[in-house]
Chains A and B, each alone.
Chain A
């Protein structure tokens, strides 16, 4: 297993939205690991499968229990991210997160069934990115469509990849849109 250089944990609590109290406070948690890009410095690698097999499941297994613990309560919405350093391909990040070997750890820990919404992006250390989150068992539940904005200081370096999971305890604060079914 690759040793991450750093693991980041973020917990965001929203107590007021639209000038009104949010009760209980809305919670969204994120855990991110910054790891070496398994394909860094190798030129164009046609077959990514060996690197996926070495890394994807292990990183999913590392992050999933941590983000559930950081949230501290039942997960209702979730999402994931791969932020590739400037010397990598976006495909490298996608390779690590767009496989069941990665996502199944989070689905199991969160008692979830849907596919994880994702962001894949390449950028310098400290880049700001947004992780989309959707409901863990029904991606059409409109109240739970939301995102968390993240900036990790000092990551990713050019030869690294940030892999992140995000979890929300509820839908949007003050959510009040009609369900999708009312428009069908």
Chain B
């Protein structure tokens, strides 16, 4: 169960609110999962560090200054809620930029080593973090993709979690999120690369449109 305590870093990153959202699945299609997984997302809404700047503004300094604190704060919530980094098997990340910002502003906070490398380190993974981004009004639900933290092609671990912040992002804010899961989908049964037959466009021969 999550019981995260406020982080001293949070205030200095301009974070207004942090939402931890967790789902435990006990039944899927009426049956208990063989490997029950808990999925969670931690999302922070903060002032857009580049609000009001032009399309050629240099984003490097803001990225280096803010992204590491976001990585710490969001990873702490996931680790606290899911029972430690060792319990986490899959992860992902996301950004929603408020309507007065650029998509590039969200990218600057999640797609640099100042965020991704640290989340990977804190959650003890090695894969690239898969992601989603959007520009939207406050309250937009955010679907965050996840895959396996050390073996991204592990098909059983392709999954998502959907969360939202009701009053964020305001036009001059950004929502940044990290997500994690302690296991696979409830009933994974679509094989894996090792069990797949060779499939080419030949399977369509003779098919009608």
Contact = CB atoms under 8 A, between A and B. Distances in A.
Interface of B: 1-6, 10-11, 14-28, 32, 77, 81, 139, 141, 161-164, 166-167
Given A3-B27, A6-B24, A16-B17, 10 more contacts: A8-B22, A8-B23, A11-B2, A11-B81, A13-B4, A15-B11, A25-B6, A128-B166, A149-B166, A154-B162
A92 B11 CA distance: 44
A8 B23 CA distance: 5
Given A6-B24, A8-B21, A16 B15 contact: yes
A9 B1 contact: yes
Contacts of A17: 16
A151 interface: yes
Interface stretch (A41-49, A66-74, A94-102, A133-141): A66-74
A7 interface: yes
A69 B3 contact: yes
Interface string A1-44: 00111111111111111000100110000000000000000000
A8 B16 CA distance: 23
Interface of B is mostly: mixed
Nearest to A27: B6
A178 interface: no
Size band of the interface chain A makes with B: 20 to 34
A6 B2 contact: no
A25 B19 contact: no
Contact of A9 (B2, B17, B162, B164): B2
Contacts of B28: 5
B14 to A, nearest CB: 8
A15 B141 contact: no
Interface of A: 3-17, 21, 24-25, 66, 69-72, 126, 128, 149, 151, 153-154
Contact of B1 (A3, A13, A70): A70
B204 to A, nearest CB: 34
A70 B17 contact: no
Contact of A13 (B18, B81, B141, B162): B18
Nearest to A19: B16
Contacts of B77: 11
A6 B28 CA distance: 9
B81 A5 contact: no
A21 B15 CA distance: 10
15 contacts: A6-B27, A7-B24, A9-B20, A9-B24, A11-B3, A13-B10, A15-B15, A15-B18, A16-B14, A21-B11, A66-B1, A69-B3, A72-B3, A149-B166, A151-B166
Contact of A4 (B11, B26, B162, B164): B26
Contacts of A72: 2-5
A153 B181 CA distance: 16
Given A3-B27, A7-B26, A11-B2, A151 B19 contact: no
